[in-house]
Chain A
Amino acid sequence: MKFPRTSGGFYAWLFQRLTGILLVILLLIHFAVTHNLPKGGTLTYAVVAPRLATATWKVFDLMFLVCALFHGLNGVWMVIQDYVHSETAQMWIYYGLCTLGLILLILGAITVIPFKA
């Protein structure tokens, strides 16, 4: 049976670009607000918690999480396909990346969603 991977395909390509464009916008907001650049400063619970407790920032951070995880792991998958040619090895790496993505998605979600200051 051939490993039914979907990559190398149109949607992997398209979503890499769409999430890339979204990430530029999300990152600029993240640096300007969360990291208070260009002013900067030390980040503590007192600074971060009130923001993270609001619905707006929860939605923002969840969007950020989904876009960055998809983009980053799909990117790793693109790199892997350039260097690993065995079908079996590719399959295991593919499922490994999916599992890692799921774990990080859950870890991020349980950090953000139930948070109260």
Chain B
Amino acid sequence: MLEKPSVIRHYRWHVGTIAWLLHRITGLLLIFYLVLHIWVIHHISQGPAGFNKVMGVVQTPIFLLLEIGLLGCVLYHAFNGLRIIVIEFSKEGVEAHKQIYAAMMAVAIILFLIGGVPMFIHFLHALAG
């Protein structure tokens, strides 16, 4: 039988573990997106026809929906990243780490709503044609 080694006392999902895992996953998704983004935008060198063609493809409803997820990834990664930096650079930060996490996530959520709601409406319009 597979058993947890007894030296490992606890292997639970803490808020810190989830925050770290999400930071890692969103970071990897973002660099993957960056590669595609550089390649897509490079089409502008081909002039209006080539650029509008590729931009037409990446602005179809499915992409518009995925873009809202992208905004979520960016905002989570950015504000969790700032949390990491603040906590590393200040002594008070370590003591108040829960409050700092809550504050950063609050800002991220507000920005997500400000950007995401219009994006979603835009998506619905595109869907309706």
Chain A contact residues, CB within 8 Å of chain B? 17, 20-21, 23-24, 27, 31, 37-46, 48-49, 52, 65, 68-69, 72-73, 75-76, 79, 100, 104, 107-108, 110-111, 115
Which B residues are in CB contact (< 8 Å) with A69? 34
Closest B residue by C-beta to A69: B34
Interface of A, secondary structure class, is helix
Residues of B within 8 A of A (CB): 24, 27-28, 30-31, 34-35, 38-39, 41-42, 44-45, 47-48, 51-52, 55, 59, 71, 74, 78, 81-82, 85, 88, 114-115, 117-119, 121-122
A111 with B82: CB separation less than 8 A: no
Selected from A20, A37, A48, A65, the residue in CB contact (under 8 A) with B85 is A20
Establish whether residues B118 and A108, one from each chain, have CB atoms under 8 Å apart when the complex forms.
Answer: no
Q: How many A-B residue pairs have CB under 8 A?
A: 83
| Known A38-B114, A40-B118, A48-B51: A104·B35 in contact at CB below 8 Å | yes
Chain A residue at minimum C-beta to C-beta distance from B30: A72
Given contacts A17-B85, A44-B55, contact A111 B41 (CB under 8 A): yes
Closest CB in chain A relative to B78 CB, distance in Å:
5
